[in-house]
Structure 1
Amino acid sequence: MSASSVPLAIQVTGGPTAVLRIAGLCLVTDPTFDGPGQYESPSGAVLTKTAPAAADAAAIGPVDAVLLSHDQHADNLDHSGRAFLATAPLVLTTPSGAERLRGADTRAGLGDAVRGLEPWDTVELPLPGASGQDAPQGAQTLTITAVPARHGPEGCEPLTGEVVGFVLAGPGLPTVYVSGDNAWLGATRQVAERFGPIDTALLFAGAARTGTLDGALLTLDSAQSADAAEILGARRVVPVHYNSWKHFTEGADQLREAFERACLGDRLVLLAPGESAEL
């Protein structure tokens, strides 16, 4: 159980997609609901989805916001995911992603619902029915802060593009870090300095590699995920983005081994697609 008395419920559906329920709010990360198939990324790499989502968009129900680390790669936003954005009253993503989504998806009704955030920008989401003693320890809002992320080694941005992570926090609420597609522990340290210790870290892992950048890591590998947990002082770590796509080179077994080697096995919460946990 986290230091907060307010529970966080997480359901993973496969790939980077997780449903977060906290204090009456529902947030979804990087929606991907397509079946198996192939997609060409802007860099020319072909991404292959190997398994369907464990839950479809309709099963999630109404959402309050989508936390979209980036829009330019299908393993973070596929065709069904793009349609799903139109059902959300708020989509938070990178500035360049917001511009693309407004331009490409006007007919889907996105418009001003999409907001581009620079690192350390914040957005306040009112808690449902939050007033006085009804709110957890007086909390009125959930604060969402955009945080740095880098989708590969130093200098990768011209090929991989902008990426953003998020921190969710508020008085009496658990502090939750959503890494996005980040391969740079320097970004993790910046988050720890401002927000640590973290109650729950949703780490995009999987040691993603493609032919881009000579096969360099595009997300954290398992050992780095354990390092990130230690840097953050995370009480719980829920890995995502390590299954359902061919370019992930490490999975659940490697994550379990890495956390055990780091003596952090008790912090690791491994959820198979479709599974849920209350933290």
Structure 2
Amino acid sequence: MLMLTYYGHSCLLLDDGAHKVLTDPFLTGNPTAAITADAVAADTILLSHAHGDHFGDAQAIAERTGAEVVGVPEVLGLLRLPGAKLHGMNLGGTLVLAFGSMRMVLARHSSGVAGGCACGYIIRMGGKTVYFAGDTAIFSDMKFLGERDAIDYALLPIGDNYTMGPEDAALAAKWLGAKHVIPIHYNTWPIIAQDPEEFKKLCEAASDAKVSIVKPGASLELA
């Protein structure tokens, strides 16, 4: 069984009952955060890039939990943690861990640090394949991602302005061939305000994906 808990913005936890993978832990200063940085659990932290609303509380959470932090080397260079707690990788690389594996994939977005790049992750955990897109525009290689992996759940930003908006995210779901889509990175601030119900209609009309709207603080079993 794999459970997803959404903490708001792009922060979520994947928990298979034995391992906990946390993404982009922006909690302090996040008006939608459903948990505090001193309460969240993690064994592994995945960072998509170094903007403050994604890099967020990575340092504090890793110090408290002892979690390993994964990201591109330039992003990890901003952390003050022992080298044993950092795993640098780059686009196309695959990392095998106790819970399964993950592959770092392209995201079309600025990185927040000189020389770095933004990324997403294809995560294999609990018998499921989960695509965490990070912050990204739509890009044609999403078709390749869908051909390369049978994606069970795609976690896609829909906020617009800084990332793709609902229309492009709906098209991305089609290109990815995802069975399920969960929208993220919206309604944190007025500039990225979106109606997830409208996105659900768009996405399900444009693709075969089923959309699950998970509110901050709520959990969903990835069946």
With the length of structure 2 as denominator, give the TM-score of the two structures: 0.87
| Aligned equivalent of 1:116 | 88
Tell me by how many angstroms 1:250 deviates. 2.8
Q: Which AA in structure 2 matches 1:18?
A: L
Query: Which residue of structure 1 lines up, in the alignment, with residue 11 of structure 2?
Result: 17
Q: SS at the partner of 1:100?
A: coil
1:205 pairs, out of 158, 164, 169, with 158
Q: Which runs of 5+ in 2 are unaligned?
A: none
Provide the residue aligned with 2:147 in structure 1: 193
Q: Aligned partners of 2:182, 2:103: CA distance in 1, in Å?
A: 19
Residue of structure 1 in register with 2:40 after alignment: 60
Percent of paired sites with the same residue: 31
Show the counterpart of 2:166: 222
The aligned amino acid for 1:173 is G
Separation in 1, partners of 2:207, 2:144: 23
SS of structure 1 residue aligned to 2:140:
helix
Measured after TM superposition, the shift of residue 260 of structure 1 is 4.2
Give 2:109's aligned residue: 151
1:120 and 1:180 map into 2 onto residues whose CA distance is 15
**Match for 2:105: what amino acid?**
V
Q: Structure 1, unaligned stretches of length 5 or more? A: 1-6, 36-48, 128-141, 210-217
How far does the alpha carbon of each residue in 1:231-250 deviate from its partner, in whole angstroms, 9 at most, with x for none?
22211111111122343143
8 A contact 2:157–2:165 mirrored in 1:
no
Aligned residue-pair number: 221
Q: 1:121 to 1:235 in 2, by over 3 A?
A: same
Contact 2:158 2:183 in 1 (8 A): yes
Q: Secondary structure at the match of 2:168?
A: helix
Structure-to-structure mapping, 1:161-180, within 5 angstroms: 162-169=117-124, 173-180=127-134
Out of 176, 179, 192, the position equivalent to 1:248 is 192
Offset of residue 191 of structure 1 = 1.5
TM-score (norm 1): 0.71
Structure ranking higher in helix proportion = 1
Q: Which has the larger radius of gyration?
A: 1
Cα deviation code 1:179-235 (max 9, x no counterpart): 11111322422311221x21111112211x2xxxxxxxx312111111121122211
